Amino acid sequence: MTKSSMSSFALDSIINNPLFGVFLTLLAFKFGQWCYKKTNRNPFLQPMIVGLFSVFLALLAFGLSFDQYFATAQPLHLMLGPVTVALAVPLYENVQRIRAMLTPVLITVLLASTITVSITIGIAWLMGAGQSTLLSLLTKSITTPIAMAVSTEIGGIPSLAAVFVIYTGIIGVIVGPSILDKLRISDKRIRGITMGISAHAIGTARAIEEDRETGAFSALAMGMTGFITAFALPLIVLWSSY
């Protein structure tokens, strides 16, 4: 066996490994963390952003389709739900502050979710988006596992819904904190709620970087948005179809 054939065989063995997608994703995210820290936490180089493009470039280099990658990344996909639930930890740590703000937060979540989704759907409709795209956009402000499940139920495209969720989170963590800083909003509760509503889990991870209390309110807003959307959206879509 020649050296080139041995290298080809080794590469095929790695690519065909049932956990190839898991290792590639973790390696890309670790690289993203390294870039983020090295650039003094540049918002454009969030680990999520760098990791996403690193995986994309790796798939192009290996000549793999998304389906091939996703089939070997299933363990990480299954962990999305438990990881999201783990965000309840900062909630528990700040339960007294949250209890005092529960009603204002609920009202804010209801109004903000309705307004942001309505504006997004309105713009997409004016640009000629199809029904399946519009239905997928409805779940843009909730976490990926909930968005994919709800999108399937209402007739959207789960994979497209996941893309909208990811890009919503990425844009939120890039521009969100800087906008809040420019507006001189320093209240941890307001910053957390804003990040949780506008950028869901990715925004909550960014909020936790600022402060545990900020992260707690972000997790609360994100959880409420997901809960309300998961229960109300299918009913609204069903009612509007009659």
Per-residue model confidence as pLDDT tens digits over 167-213: 888 888 888 888 999 999 989 888 999 998 888 888 888 888 888 88
Same domain, 34 and 143: no
Same domain, 144 and 236: yes
Kind and range of the H or E element at 60? helix 47-62
53 to each of 22, 56, 60, 138, how far by Cα in Å? 16, 5, 11, 25
Same domain, 108 and 46: no
Same domain, 45 and 20: yes
Q: What band does 54 get if pLDDT is binned at 50, 70 and 90?
A: very high
- Comparing 14-18, 77-81, 109-113, the range with the smallest average pLDDT is 14-18
Confidence (pTM): 0.75
pLDDT score, position 182: 92
Identify the domain boundary among 56, 78, 100.
78
Encoding tokens for residue 221?
A: 């807003």
Same domain, 52 and 96: no
Encoding tokens for residue 96?
A: 């007294």
Instruction: Let me know the angle formed at the C-alpha of 106 by 214 and 168, rounded to the nearest 5 degrees.
Output: 60
Same domain, 192 and 109: yes
Identify the domain boundary among 26, 49, 78.
78
Domain of residue 55, residue span: 1-78
Round to whole Å and give the CA distance between 55 and 66.
10
Round to whole Å and give the CA distance between 49 and 205.
13
In the chain, the number of structural domains is 2
Same domain, 98 and 208: yes
Identify the domain boundary among 22, 46, 78.
78
177-186, Cβ contacts within 8 angstroms, sequence gap of 24 or more: 177/43, 177/206, 177/210, 178/43
95-99, Cβ contacts within 8 angstroms, sequence gap of 24 or more: 97/189, 97/213, 97/216, 98/216, 98/217, 98/220
State the Rg of the chain over Cα.
20
